[in-house]
Structure 1
């Protein structure tokens, strides 16, 4: 065991899981290969990264990540009404259906159908985990100094 702890300038290999507070599993790699990231490289949201700061190899922890440190608060301005005629008539709409849209910069933007009728479709463009507390479980496998390029 090295004395190195998770923080800026480190590369971390870990097992993790993300769950909702009701127990619904969102993502996990505990049954597979561990993930590796370098602190600050953008692979992990800052709030999740900062929860790991100070942990050593072999540590196993659970954290509750609030929305403001995770996927953000649910923003009602991100719920939009779209005219039904904008959709391909062959699309069978259903509540919870995730669709892909293009924004003004032609960037792909996922949206979830919240409600619909013959005239309008309500689409939620918030991240599906926005506004939710996330249970973040980690097991630190290895910590190394980051390679500077």
Structure 2
């Protein structure tokens, strides 16, 4: 009986010492050109009430701007944006910015292209036969591909159309003002 108690006690001590990996690592979201960190988000332990963590369904209000202040999107005046953290529904930097936020907390994050829509790539500009695009298209028109991707017509000739398949925000540094409205599940 005493051996069993000793084994149980040793097992508890070993579990406490060995434990699991620390999930509270801090993730740096952005570095400004001068090396100053714009913000960091501490990854919270799952299950802390009122704090967003991986797998949570969250609602946020946000405004997205370019570094020159040009607004490209906002949920203000509409319904808050709802998404599941770490489910691949959002750009990585936005997703990571929400982790560790408390309900009602607001923050501003600056995301370089690699944490947003990636770098602009000349390899994503393609030529397609004119019979593969809608009749009457012109340079500057936006089309939706069969996969649901918005693409931009760059040029049109009698035989082909040049299509830019880069995301319209590729290569851009993005600034988001984010408020965690609720954790819904």
Normalised by the size of structure 2, how large is the TM-score? 0.64
Structure number with greater CO (CA < 8 Å, separation at least 6) is: 1
Residue 18 of structure 1 aligns with which residue? Answer: 64
Structure 1: where are the runs of 5+ without partners?
Answer: none
Residue 141 of structure 1 aligns with which residue? Answer: 181
1:125 aligned onto 2:171: no
Contact preservation (8 Å) 2:127, 2:161 = yes
Name which one, 1 or 2, has greater alpha-carbon Rg. 2
Structure 2: where are the runs of 5+ without partners?
Answer: 1-47
Task: Give SS of 1:12's match.
Answer: strand
Contact preservation (8 Å) 2:55, 2:87 = no
Normalized per residue, which structure has more helix? 2
Task: Give SS of 1:74's match.
Answer: coil
Q: CA RMSD in A?
A: 2.3
Residue 136 of structure 2 aligns with which residue? Answer: 92
**Cα 1:109–1:37 shift into 2, 3 Å:** closer
Report the Cα distance in structure 2 between the residues aligned to 1:71 and 1:108, rounded to whole angstroms.
Answer: 16
Normalized per residue, which structure has more strand? 1
Report the Cα distance in structure 1 between the residues aligned to 2:156 and 2:72, rounded to whole angstroms.
Answer: 26
Report the Cα distance in structure 1 between the residues aligned to 2:159 and 2:167, rounded to whole angstroms.
Answer: 25
